[in-house]
Amino acid sequence: MNASDQLELAECITRARTGDLEAWGELYREFAGPIFRFCRRSLHTKEDAEDATTEIFMKLHEKLAQYDSTRPFQAWLYKVAANHCWDSLRRRRIRQDLETEGVEEMPLEHPDPSQLNLLLDAQSTKEMRDALKKLPARARMALVLRYYTDMSYDEIAETLGVRRNFVGVVLLRARHQLREALTGQSLQGMNAEQTP
């Protein structure tokens, strides 16, 4: 976002804080699409993502007064969205300690992040969504926060409610699980093509 866009956004936020409906409309038009796509990657269904997007903008309406204008608005908005999605996932299913069971025994070898990026690039959006759905909630959310919104380990730790040094373990495991899910889909697709 260039300086002129940032200035426009700052003015729009100021107007929205005073209750200007046109400014709210501008914020919605600018950010509803990206927030929906974020929610779609984080949550189970399109309907959940649509509901979450609406609820996030309702929260935005309530919390805009708390926004610290010295920080980037987009990062703050994604944090509100991430917290909302995480709460939704938590409500939908009680978080199980099984997600972290056996972490100590996990091998330290993991796909090189650049290899993971190549694998991600090779997959269609539908394949990626299907693979993400197969992951435990914490793993899915950690990947989405890290690779789709570029959050720092500190921000991910705060959003997921875990210690910062545990974020690396969660991401390591999540990358393993995503790779397995994507590789499994590729094998299934190849087997289906070979079946007469």
Task: Note the pLDDT tens digit of each residue in 119-166.
Answer: 555 556 677 778 888 888 888 888 888 888 778 888 888 888 888 888
Q: How far is CA 91 from CA 5, 84, 87, 88, 128, in A?
A: 37, 11, 6, 5, 24
Q: Which of 34, 38, 58 lies closest to 48, judged by CA?
A: 38
Domains with residue ranges and CATH for the chain: 3-92 (1.10.1740.10), 102-194 (1.10.10.10)
pLDDT at 52 over 90: yes
78/96: higher pLDDT = 78
Cβ-defined contacts of 158-166 (< 8 Å, 24+): 159/79, 159/82, 159/83, 159/86, 160/86, 161/86, 162/138
Over range 82-107, report the average pLDDT: 61
Statement: residue 175 has pLDDT above 80: yes
Q: Which residues contact 139 (CB under 8 A, 6 or more apart)?
A: 99, 170, 173, 174, 177, 178
pTM over 0.75: no
- DSSP at 119: H
Give yes or no for a contact between 32 and 17, defined as CB atoms under 8 angstroms apart: no
Closest of 104, 108, 157, 127 to residue 41, by C-alpha: 127
Least confident of 49-63, 92-106, 143-157, 180-194: 92-106
**Residues in Cβ contact with 24 at an 8 Å cutoff, skipping those fewer than 6 apart:** 16, 61
The pLDDT tens digits of the residues spanning 95-130 come to 434 444 444 444 444 444 455 555 555 556 677 778
Model confidence pLDDT, tens digit, residues 17-41: 998 999 999 999 999 999 999 998 8
Kindly give, in sequence order, each residue whose CB lies less than 8 Å from that of residue 119, ignoring residues fewer than 6 positions away: 111, 179, 182
